[in-house]
């Protein structure tokens, strides 16, 4: 057991992130809805806290606003990207809940999501996430781009794997 913890510690120690902000598109497969999202990534040790807000506009079958906070835990790194597991808790304002056939639909909801994501480890970092909403039992796809704030001194794009990146200010 001791060696297992050592292995996990060694594995996680390779992740060291910078603060990022970004946004992208959010797609809910079950409600056939498309939205936009904004997020920040705040690293704390090897994990990251991710405040997020997502809006599914009025033209969707389900129009709603999510505002919450997530947790990302990296678990697999390859080349200049890494996979992470995520958990997310948010307030959900379901704006057109009156149009839903769901019996207990309501405006104010608390949503919990778990999922997986992949993000590159450079200065402009595309990401993609698969998330499962535990409350509504819906799958979400998120794609977007994060800007590594530690790269804003003009150094431009990183290259190579995260471990070899020399970002200014790091």
Partner 1 sequence: MKTLQKIQTIVAAIIVVISFQNCSKDRIETETTSYESMNEYFDSKKQEEQEYIIDTLGECPLTGKLGTRICINKSDLQFTNGDSIYYPYTLKLVELYSIKDMIYYQATNNTSDGYYTSKGEVRIRTFKNDTELQLRQNKAIEVEIKDSLANQDMSVYYQQATDPFTWSKSTDIYSATEYGYLGLVSLGWNAAGKQASYTNQAIVSFTSETDNLETVEMYMYVSSAQSIVRINNHKQIETPIGEQVTFICMAIDKQNQLYSYTTNKTITGDTTIVVTLTKISDNDLTQILDNL
Residues that bind partner 1 (CB under 8 A): 7, 11, 29-32, 61-62, 75-76, 83, 85, 100-102, 105, 114, 116, 130, 132, 136-139
Distances (CA, A) of 60 to 63, 70, 120, 145: 6, 24, 30, 23
Compute the least distance from the CB of residue 49 to partner 1, in Å. 21
**Residue 87: other Cβ atoms inside 10 A:** 16
Closest approach of partner 1 to the CB of residue 75, in Å: 5
Q: Which CB sits closer to partner 1, 67 or 138?
A: 138
To partner 1, the closest distance from the beta carbon of 143 in angstroms equals 16
> Using alpha carbons only, what angle is made at residue 104 by residues 101 and 106, rounded to the nearest 5 degrees?
95
Residue 133 near residue 116 (C-beta atoms within 8 A): no
Tell me the closest approach of the beta carbon of residue 103 to partner 1, in angstroms.
Answer: 9
Q: How far is the CB of 153 from partner 1 (least distance, A)?
A: 34
Closer to partner 1 at the Cβ: 8 or 25? 8
DSSP letter for each residue of 123-160: SEEEEEEEEEETTTTEEEEEEEEEEEGGGTTTT----S
Nearer to partner 1, 30 or 159 (CB): 30
DSSP at 99? G
Dihedral of CA atoms 22, 43, 78, 133 in degrees, nearest 10, equals -60
Q: For partner 1, which is the closer residue by CB, 108 or 137?
A: 137
Cβ proximity to partner 1, 19 vs 100, nearer residue: 100
């Amino acid at each position: 057991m001791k060696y297992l913890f050592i292995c996990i510690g060694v594995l996680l120690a390779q992740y060291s992130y910078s603060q990022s902000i970004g946004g992208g598109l959010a797609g809910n497969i079950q409600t056939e809805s498309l939205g936009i999202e904004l997020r920040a990534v705040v690293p704390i040790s090897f994990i990251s806290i991710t405040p997020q807000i997502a809006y599914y506009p009025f033209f969707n079958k389900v129009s709603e606003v999510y505002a919450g906070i997530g947790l990302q835990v990296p678990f697999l790194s390859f080349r200049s990207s890494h996979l992470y597991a995520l958990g997310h808790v948010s307030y959900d304002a379901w704006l057109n809940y009156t149009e839903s056939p769901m019996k207990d639909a309501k405006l104010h909801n608390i949503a919990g999501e778990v999922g997986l994501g992949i993000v590159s480890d450079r200065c402009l970092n595309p990401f993609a996430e698969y998330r499962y909403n535990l409350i509504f039992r819906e799958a979400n796809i998120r794609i977007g781009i994060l800007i590594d704030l530690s790269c804003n001194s003009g150094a431009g794009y990183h290259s190579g794997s995260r471990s070899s990146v020399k970002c200014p200010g790091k």
